[in-house]
Every structure is written in structure tokens, then in C-alpha cells.
Chain A
Amino acid sequence: ASFSDLHDEL
């Protein structure tokens, strides 16, 4: 999974 899929939180 891409970075923004893994880290969609602030």
C-alpha cells in the first residue's frame, strides 16, 4: 500500500 494509504491520519 502507498504511504498515504497507510498514513491517512494527521
Chain B
Amino acid sequence: MNIFRLLGDICHLVAIIVLLLKIWKTRSCAGISGKSQILFALVYTTRYVDLFFTYVSLYNSVMKVIFLASSYATLYLIYVKFKATYDFNHDTFRIEFLLIPCVILSLLITHDYSPVELLWTFSIYLEAVAILPQLFMVSKTGEAETITSHYLFALGAYRALYIVNWIYRYYTESFIDGIAVVAGIIQTILYADFFYLYITKVLKGKDFKLPA
């Protein structure tokens, strides 16, 4: 464990909690892409299947349980409890266009072909693009609630910090995982224009609105 990865995991946890609180407190999931949340739940489910048969550390297991529980709780809030506030008209990204390429790619480029490794590789590729339905929805509505922009910033910052963690691990442990690094860089790049808008607007107290 290193400080960059710890900060990354904290950002990740903050993002998930902020989203849950936003939906719970405002009793509304307006502006939130349920499809992205489905993809995130799938990412954690396919990545953390080892939760039941390997033990890395208490921290690792506790965080996995939190991520799994909170992602399914978010799905429940969106598609069951506050279903009436779900903006399905704007949440129209075709996630099959993300799922199928990720399945194919995880069969073409993977460390090995054991089921758990294939699931891990699929989850890495899927996580890189899981935010696309949400970013697509923000571009369609042209704006996002400030709390939603904080959620997106924390979520983007988590993987950006993981890139720093990978650089650190490369130089200190000569550890590198090319699949995770490439996917993580793509994932972070997808947030680039959002980061720009967030820093130039939201941090100056303005609303998060895309230039018309």
C-alpha cells in the first residue's frame, strides 16, 4: 500500500458515498445515469469474485464489501425506491456497445485464461468506459447538479491517483500491470474535459454547465 493508492481509494469511497447521499437526501436521482451505475455494479461484481476465496488484507476485504454493497444500494435507489425521478429520457447510452467490446477485448488481451482472471480483465476494461453513459447524459442535459459534479470529480481523481500509484510501484517494487495501466489512463482521459470544466467553473462557485 502507498499514499497514492490510499488517497485514490479514499476518493473512490467519497465518490460512492457522495452519490448515495445525494440520491438519499434529495430523494431524487435526477441527472444520474442508472446505466453507468449498472456498469459499476458489474465492474465490482466481476472484479471482487475473489472476495470469497482469497484474503489479501482486512482493508482489502472491507473495501470490497463496501463498494459492492454501496453500488447495489445505489441501483436499488435509482431503479426501485426513487424510480419516479429516474430520467430515463436522457439516460439513453447503448451499454451493449460497451459490454460487447469489453468481453471481446478481455478474450484477446489478458494475463491468462482462467475464469477469475478473465473476469478481472473484463472488469478493468469495463471500468475504463463505465462513466460514458453518465458523461453522455450530462452532455445531453447540458448541465449537472453541483453535487453530481463533485461525485464525478472524486471518481475521476481516484483513477488518476491510481496512475501515480502505478508509477510509484514501478519504481519502488518494479511492479507493473500493463492492462490496468492502459485502461486506467484511458479512463482518466475520458474525464479530461470534465476536469477542465469542473476546475474552471464549479471551483469558482459557478454552476456546472456545458458551453452551449
Contacts and interface: CB of A to CB of B under 8 A. Distances in A.
Given A2-B54, A3-B50, A3-B54, A8 B117 contact: no
Contacts, number: 28
A9 B12 CA distance: 13
A3 B117 contact: yes
A2 to B, nearest CB: 7
Size bracket, chain A contacts: under 10
B70 to A, nearest CB: 13
B111 A4 contact: no
> What does DSSP make chain B's interface, helix, strand, loop or mixed?
helix
> What does DSSP make chain A's interface, helix, strand, loop or mixed?
loop
A5 B111 CA distance: 13
Interface in B45-82: 50, 54-56, 60, 63-64, 67
A7 B64 CA distance: 13
A6 B55 CA distance: 13
Contacts of B180: 9
Contacts of B111: 6
A1 to B, nearest CB: 10
Interface of A: 2-4, 6-10
Given A7-B120, A9-B5, 16 more contacts: A2-B54, A3-B54, A3-B114, A3-B116, A3-B117, A4-B50, A4-B54, A4-B55, A4-B56, A6-B111, A6-B177, A7-B50, A8-B56, A9-B162, A9-B165, A9-B180
